[in-house]
Amino acid sequence: VQPEHFIFSTFGVLHVFPRQPSENLSLAAWQREAVIFSTIIKIPFFKYYLLRRMFVKWRANVHFKEYSTIRHQMSEGLLQAIPSFGAALLHISKLCQELLNLTFLPTDTVSKDSLTLQKAKRRQRALNLTKARQETMQVEL
């Protein structure tokens, strides 16, 4: 006996479900449902519904697999992976790090005049450094 099965008798049909309450139908009601089901199953939409649903899921899986393959190929061929661009990106990163480490405010202040002098010197040094870095970046690119 299957877990889900039907029991036919002269009084009606008992539909037994596993771990659920059973359903009892009279023979006339069961016959009516069987005729309706056989009529509906002849309509093309319902006839091919399961086949179409499986095909749509298969096609979606194929598209997702193609997408995953392309995504993987693109991630391997990114800009960082190309040696000539990798060196330039490393150099740009180094320049950015130098700019972050550059201090614009003096740490040792002796007098007001020396402070303005130090500011001017540091500003000039920072301008020279930025100009030199811009020129090297333009030459490399």
Q: What is the DSSP string of 5-41?
A: EEEE-SS-EEEE-TTS--EEE-HHHHHHHHHHHHHHT
What percent of the chain is predicted at pLDDT more than 70? Answer: 89
**pLDDT band, residue 69 (cuts 50/70/90):** very high
Residue 9, both tokens: 């008798």
On the question of pLDDT at 67 being above 90, the answer is yes
* Distance in angstroms (rounded) separating the CA atoms of residues 113 and 17: 95
Tokens of 92: 């740009």
For residue range 29-39, what is the model confidence (pLDDT) as tens digits? 999 999 999 99
pLDDT at 42: 96
Residues contacting 79, CB < 8 A, separation 6+: 85, 86, 89
Sheet holding 23-25, edge to edge: 5-8, 13-16, 23-25
d(CA 110, CA 108): 6
